[in-house]
Amino acid sequence: MSEWQPKILAILCNWCSYAGADLAGVSRMQYPPNIRVVRVPCSGRVDPLFIMKSLQSGFDGVLVSGCHPGDCHYISGNYVARRKFAVLKPLLEFIGIEPNRVQFSWISAGEGERFATVVTKITEDVRKLGPSTRLVKKL
């Protein structure tokens, strides 16, 4: 059997990080092929349950990325998202999800390189942690 590859869901804001991913692509930057991208209108759209459900459905990690502070297309969605994640983070730890499995970042449309770095980072972090076994509990 080939080596285990982490599967990571990347939930990206349409106005910044998604465009950042695009830029990384057209600039032919190299980054691991482990992410599956879901585009959202704003990181503020991300309900904590999206993250829990992804882990439950078999993803090994989740990346949520939105605009830098002050740059939100809807003015303040990313600030509110940060508050939601601040509530979610300790809860994830509470249920035994290692902190590195779920990461949040700010990536602008011009930061193709940063996008590649962030994706490489989370892929390697999750690879080290191994397959996610929480939420769908192993007996």
Partner 1 sequence: MTDSELKGAVLPALKKPGGAVRDFLRLAMEKELADAVILPMKVPSGDSFAWILMNDISLLDDAVPIAATMPVQGAKALRSLTRKGPGNLKIIAVMRPCEIRAAMELSKLGQVHPENLILATYDCPGAVQLQKYVDDPAGSEEYFAGMLQKGKPDDSAKPVCHTCENFSMFDSDIHFGYLGLSEKEVLVIPGSEKGSALLEGLGLDLTKDLQAWEKGIDQLKADKLNSRKSTFEETKAQLNGFNGLLSVFANCIGCHNCQSACPICYCRLCYFDSETAEQDPDALITAAEKRGGISLPVDRIMFHTGRMAHMSLSCVSCGQCSDACPVSIPVADVFSYVADQTQRTFEYTAGRNDGDPLPLRQFRKAELPGVHELVKDADAEVPSHE
SS3 state at 135: coil
The DSSP code for 43 is: G
Q: Which stretch binds partner 1 (CB under 8 A): 5-13, 24-32, 34-42, 115-123?
A: 115-123
**From residue 41 to residue 60, what is the string marking binding to partner 1 with x (rule CB under 8 A)?**
-------xx--xx--xxx--
The answer to whether 97 touches 10, Cβ cutoff 8 Å, is no
The answer to whether 74 touches 46, Cβ cutoff 8 Å, is no
The answer to whether 46 touches 78, Cβ cutoff 8 Å, is no
Residue among 101 and 112 whose Cβ is closer to partner 1: 101
Q: Which stretch binds partner 1 (CB under 8 A): 8-16, 17-25, 27-35, 83-91?
A: 83-91
Residue 6 in tokens: 């982490």
The answer to whether 62 touches 33, Cβ cutoff 8 Å, is no
Q: Which stretch binds partner 1 (CB under 8 A): 10-18, 23-31, 34-42, 85-93?
A: 85-93
The count of residues interacting with partner 1 (CB under 8 A) is 48
SS3 state at 117: helix
Q: Which stretch binds partner 1 (CB under 8 A): 8-16, 23-31, 33-41, 127-135?
A: 127-135
The answer to whether 19 touches 71, Cβ cutoff 8 Å, is no
Which of residues 7, 85, 112, 123 is near partner 1 by CB under 8 A?
A: 85
Q: Which residues bind partner 1 (CB under 8 A)?
A: 48-49, 52-53, 56-58, 69-70, 76, 79-80, 82-91, 93-100, 103-106, 118, 121-122, 124-125, 128-129, 133-139
